[in-house]
Amino acid sequence: MSRSDLLARHREVMPGWMSLYYEEPVEIVSGRGRHVTDADGNTYLDFFAGILTNAVGYDIPEISDAIRARVDSGVLHTSTLYLIRQQVELAERIAELSGMSRPKVFFTNSGTEANETALMLATQRRRSNQVLALRNSYHGRAFATVGITGNRSWSASALSPVKVSYVHGGYRYRSPFRNLSDADYVRACVEDLREVIETTTAGDVACMIVEPIQGVGGFATPPDGLFGAFAEVLDEYGILLVSDEVQTGWGRTGEHFWGIQAHGVVPSAMTFAKGLANGMAIGGLVAEAELMDCLTANSLSTFGGNPVSTAAATATLEYLLDHDLQGNAARLGARLLAGLRTHAEGSALVGDVRGKGLMIGVELVRPGSAEPAPEAAGRVLELARQRGLLVGKGGLHGNVLRLAPPMTLTEEEAAEALAVLTDVLTTAEKELR
Ligand code: PLP
């Protein structure tokens, strides 16, 4: 069956809002290291790590063996009504890494469910459904999470069970505070936070949820310390801070294991998913016991923390730590960032280069203006694909290239990707003029 037949069937049977990359979408059939191969035999360097899911790359024996061992055990007994050794061991490991004083862990199947759980706990605890979120944020696609999404292209808030007020501090490049120094930007956002609490809420806010670097929002990166300054205000009002680490956890941002650590604050809860099991479905949250245990009703997730996903997660986590992939992300990320910033100096197409570690956003604008250039982002994606490089895109206007390769990236691969990217950015800019 040809790829065009498969695409026609996809369009027939699957929803139109499940958009695919490329006019002629690719079908990935295998992978090794940082490379994937499509059904036509083309090999690509994957600079989006699946969708930040394949944190350490493809075909890693330690992880495949851990998954295989569970499957070969013959008992794919899946029920959270019984003790699951792999689940307890993984929870202990994550609790240890959390930096919290009395951490407890709950597993789900996705980032959405992890955030829904955090919101459920915080709103139950305060007996209030008022929360705070950042403008341009994305936290998932279920009722509460889609309801608080602060990004027009992903939101569907009509019937949200949660009341949300939005605060500045996510997407600086297109905010009214864009031209302020870091220190003044932090001050302006803190003032905004206080004003939003005082004027748009009844004062009974359950929690504030933030992405340390906005993922879907185009890898928008706030200055270090911002959320620590927020936490001081939140404390005054008894508001809990929840850090959505779905994209920023596990050392991807280089300097820190959790993205929020750049802000000098330990939140009451951190949610996670994506890269934890290198592609297997798992999510969850780690929270202070006081919050985690505030629920009096029963609650469980049938598949959350199942033996296969938790075994894959433990193997992935050990691999990440044993190979110091956080350090690798810091080193190679700094090189990529510097190379892209150098290119941006001579480019009218690149409006902003931002990010940390292996989470880098390149915002494209119409040459000669600050207007978003989503068509250029689409063109760069296609040109890069033709050169054997897969990158992501996103942002409020769909005009941001998102670079997030597996954290096992090598120096040679980083140099190769940088060369391809600067070439295709130059070509796309010429085409636009
Ligand atoms: N939170 C963030 C920051 C995300 O980027 C995403 C997904 O992209 C989610 C939550 C939702 O995760 P999932 O798609 O696993 O439900």
Q: What is the pTM of this model?
A: 0.98
Q: How far apart are CA 146 and CA 337, in angstroms?
A: 31
As given in the structure block, the two tokens for residue 211 are 């992405």
Query: Does the C-beta of 120 come closer than 6 Å to ligand 1?
Result: no
Those residues with Cβ within 8 angstroms of residue 267's Cβ, 6 or more apart along the chain or in another chain: 231, 240, 241, 242, 243, 260
Query: Does the C-beta of 112 come closer than 6 Å to ligand 1?
Result: yes
Nearest to 431 by CA among 395, 378, 357: 378
Q: How far apart are CA 353 and CA 351, in angstroms?
A: 7
Query: Does the C-beta of 306 come closer than 6 Å to ligand 1?
Result: no
What SS3 class is residue 344? helix
CA of 209 to the centre of ligand 1 (A): 13
As given in the structure block, the two tokens for residue 382 are 């296609």
What SS3 class is residue 408? coil
Query: Does the C-beta of 215 come closer than 6 Å to ligand 1?
Result: yes
Q: In 115-127, which positions are buried (b, 16+ CB within 10 angstroms) versus exposed (e)?
A: bbbbbbbbbbbbe
Nearest to 272 by CA among 226, 316, 330: 316
Query: Does the C-beta of 140 come closer than 6 Å to ligand 1?
Result: yes
Pocket probe for ligand 1: among 148, 248, 274, 309, the residue whose CB has the most ligand atoms within 8 Å is: 274
Helices (H) and strands (E) in the chain, counts: 13, 15
Contact 249, 276 (CB under 8 A): yes
Distance from the Cα of residue 315 to its chain's centroid: 21
Pocket probe for ligand 1: among 246, 248, 303, 400, the residue whose CB has the most ligand atoms within 8 Å is: 246
Query: Does the C-beta of 173 come closer than 6 Å to ligand 1?
Result: no
- Beta partners for 356? 359
Query: Does the C-beta of 246 come closer than 6 Å to ligand 1?
Result: yes
Residue closest by Cα to atom 5 of ligand 1: 215
pLDDT of the chain, 433 residues: tens digit per residue: 688 899 999 999 999 999 899 999 999 999 999 999 999 999 999 999 999 999 999 999 999 999 999 989 877 777 888 899 999 999 999 999 999 999 999 999 999 999 999 999 999 999 999 999 999 999 999 999 999 999 988 887 666 789 999 999 999 999 999 999 999 999 999 999 999 999 999 999 999 999 999 999 999 999 999 999 999 999 999 999 999 999 999 999 999 999 999 999 999 999 999 999 999 999 999 999 999 999 988 999 999 999 999 999 999 999 999 999 999 999 999 999 999 999 999 999 999 999 999 999 999 999 989 999 999 999 999 999 999 999 999 999 999 999 999 999 999 999 999 999 999 999 999 998 8
Nearest to 404 by CA among 250, 224, 285: 250
Query: Does the C-beta of 247 come closer than 6 Å to ligand 1?
Result: yes
Contact 222, 173 (CB under 8 A): no
As given in the structure block, the two tokens for residue 195 are 């004003």
CA of 51 to the centre of ligand 1 (A): 10
CA of 244 to the centre of ligand 1 (A): 9
Nearest to 307 by CA among 70, 143, 22: 70
Residue closest by Cα to atom 12 of ligand 1: 111
